[in-house]
Structure 1
Amino acid sequence: MFKSLFKKNKEPEQVQAPLTGKIVALEEVPDPVFSQKMMGDGIAIIPADKKVYSPVDGEVVNVFPTKHAISLRSKMGVELLIHMGLETVELKGEGFQILVQDGTKVSKGEPIAEFDFEKVSSLGKEVITPVILLNGDQFKIENKQTGASTTGGKDIIMEIAKA
């Protein structure tokens, strides 16, 4: 009976798309901080819809004061960063509506923000959105989708397992 309580979860974390759009390899992001994986491994999405969804069951760790990025921690401990656009910190929140706050419990597919990518683009910023595994020392990405269209809050874009 107690064996199941102490069993380590070997199943990988299935990460859903936080945005609807086209998945591209992180190496294609026109910013070396992301393309050279300085912050960690992951994928990027070129958005086609404004809604941003939680990619995992867990909680919001940090909503950046400039509203351009949200970090989350899954129940398994996977930490992810959704960085909406590039150099969007300079917009000081313009083009972003955040629907959660630090500590909010979230479920996969639950709306967490709106990203007005058309407005952000009109302000001269790239809208490609990196989704980064922040604690790659503890976890590794096993399966990554790239080159495909994806539906935010529905499709699996990567699987992450304990390292």
Structure 2
Amino acid sequence: MLKNLFKKNEAIKDITILAPVSGELIGLEKVPDPVFAEKMMGDGIAIDPSIGEIFSPVNGKIIQLFPTKHAIGIEAENGAEILIHVGLDTVNLNGEGFTAHVEEGKKVKQGDHLLSFNLEMIRERATGTIIPIIITNTDAFSSIKAENKKQVMAGKDAILLVNK
């Protein structure tokens, strides 16, 4: 009991964000949507997916699941708020082709299955398949560093280093 009294309370400051989906890593500035490319929502990176499955890139909690299931927000253990936006203009699909495997408020571990989506449908009916991964509260961190890789595997490869 007393050992906890003298234990330092060390909050998690730095985290490594793993790829939430397998595919080709793309710099955010190359995303063909100014909201993401100009970092209006925050800093991050993007992935052109090769599969239709999204996995949790961090340990944390689901803070937002859009009704259309095209985007999901996760709060990481260090407070980073991560937005995973599946495709471009996919909100217009009104949830068609998307299946959520979590709900708001649920705690998740790195690698937990979050969403499934029909990649072919997105190719045919949306503006693009690219998945931006954004730290929406960028100002709360001293640095956000993107990894320099070409291909990434979901749950295996680091894509961002976020330092408090």
Query: Taking structure 1 as the reference length, what is the TM-score of the superposition?
Result: 0.92
Structure 1 segments unaligned to the other structure (5+ residues): none
Residue 48 (structure 1) aligns with: 50
Corresponding residue to 1:20 among 22, 26, 33: 22
Q: Displacement of 1:147 after TM fit?
A: 4.7
**Is contact 2:12-2:77 (8 Å) kept?**
no
Q: Which amino acid aligns with 2:9?
A: F
Alpha-carbon spacing, 1:48–1:140, altered in 2? closer, same or farther (3 Å):
farther
Amino acid at match of 1:92: N
Name the aligned partner's letter for residue 24 of structure 1: I
Measure how far apart 1:19 and its partner are. 0.4
Runs of 4+ in 1 over 6 A off after TM superposition: none
**1:75 and 1:120, CA in 2 relative to 1: closer, same or farther beyond 3 A?**
same
1:57 to 2:87 alignment: no
Distance in 2 (alpha carbons) for counterparts of 1:159 and 1:21: 19
- Distance in 2, matches of 1:17 and 1:96, equals 19
Quick one: which amino acid aligns to residue 144 of structure 1? Answer: A
Residues 75-133 of structure 1: CA deviation (Å, up to 9, x unaligned): 11111000000111011001211100100110001110112121111114301000000
Q: Which residue of 1 aligns with 2:95?
A: 93
User: Cα distance, 1:3 vs. partner?
Assistant: 5.4
User: Does the Cα contact within 8 Å between 2:89 and 2:126 map onto a contact in 1?
Assistant: no
**Does the 8 A contact of 1:63 with 1:102 survive in 2?**
yes
Contact residue 81 and residue 131 of structure 1 kept, 8 A: yes
CA-to-aligned-CA distance 1:33-69 (integer Å, 9 cap, x gap): 0000000000000000111000110110000011100
Q: Return the alpha-carbon distance in structure 2 between the equivalents of residues 143 and 108 of structure 1.
A: 19
Q: Is 1:136 matched with 2:138?
A: yes
- Structure of higher CA gyration radius: 2
Count of residue pairs brought into register by the alignment: 161
Which residue of structure 1 aligns with residue 8 of structure 2? 5
Distance 1:149 1:9 in 2: 28
CA deviations over 1:2-49 (Å, ceiling 9, x no partner): 554333544x20101000000000000000000000000000000001
Please list, as runs of the form range in 1=range in 2, the aligned pairs for 1:29-40 lying within 5 A after superposition: 29-40=31-42
**Root-mean-square deviation over aligned CA pairs:** 1.5
- Residue 7 of structure 1 aligns with an amino acid whose one-letter code is E
| Aligned residue in 1 for 2:151 | 149
CA contact (8 A) 2:60 2:74 kept: yes
5+ unaligned residues in a row in structure 2: which ranges? none
- Could you tell me whether the CA contact under 8 Å between 2:90 and 2:126 is conserved in 1? no
Query: Conserved in 1, the CA contact under 8 Å of 2:26 and 2:48?
Result: yes
